[in-house]
């Protein structure tokens, strides 16, 4: 959907997961071996990955000021199952959050979100307000008030609908 550049740091993983489902067409990249490989998950991990994806989407909609698109498991409940630890680099003493259970998608996402929250970038990751889209995007606007994944597509459609509604 979007022509925007990917979200920074670990938020790129969150954005990529949310954007595996195209709501308009119904195409789900997680249905393909390639799509699962890009996220490092197996077919057996699909059900929890889909639950995580929709919980993330609901949170990203909240970042943009919109209610969830449907009932989902709260993201905090999911993250409670993903313990993290502070790994300290012996070379420079830098501390980073790491998943305690290795490479599980939930743990990688929880670490990315926790790091982004600390850095102050988490709430800049949003979901497009368009009902047929809800694509994840990183809002780089100075005021942080972006509403659409793409001004040329979703933004233009919304503005045209408002214009036509005024005309009536």
What CATH number is attached to the domain comprising 118?
Answer: 1.10.3300.10
In a domain, 110, yes or no: yes
Mean pLDDT split into 10-residue runs, the chain, 168 residues: 78 97 94 96 96 96 87 95 93 91 89 95 92 88 68 56 59
Record the pTM.
0.85
- List Cα–Cα distances, 119 to 9, 14, 36, 64, 65, in angstroms: 10, 15, 28, 19, 21
Which pLDDT score, from 0 to 100, does residue 90 have? 94
Plot region of 151 (φ>0 → left; ψ -120 to 50 → alpha; else → beta): alpha
Number of domains into which the chain is organized = 1
Query: Looking at the domain assignment, is residue 5 inside a domain?
Result: no
Q: Domain of residue 99: give its range.
A: 11-167
- Residue 134 inside a domain? The answer is yes
pLDDT at position 101 = 78
pLDDT value for 141 = 85
d(CA 148, CA 156): 9
Q: Look at residue 97 and tell me if it is in a domain.
A: yes
């Amino acid at each position: 959907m979007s022509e925007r550049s990917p979200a920074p740091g670990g938020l790129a993983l969150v954005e990529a997961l949310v954007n595996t489902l195209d709501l308009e067409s119904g195409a789900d990249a997680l249905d393909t071996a390639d799509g699962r490989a890009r996220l490092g998950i197996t077919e057996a991990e699909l059900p929890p990955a889909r639950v995580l994806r929709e919980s993330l989407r609901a949170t990203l909609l909240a970042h943009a000021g919109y209610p969830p698109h449907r009932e989902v498991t709260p993201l905090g409940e999911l993250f409670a199952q993903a313990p993290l630890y502070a790994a300290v680099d012996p070379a420079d003493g830098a501390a980073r959050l790491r998943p305690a259970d290795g490479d599980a998608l939930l743990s990688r996402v929880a670490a990315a979100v926790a790091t982004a929250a600390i850095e102050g970038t988490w709430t800049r990751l949003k979901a497009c307000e368009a009902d047929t889209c809800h694509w994840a995007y990183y809002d780089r606007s100075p005021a942080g008030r972006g509403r659409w994944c793409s001004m040329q597509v979703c933004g233009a459609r919304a503005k045209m609908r408002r214009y036509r509604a005024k005309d009536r």
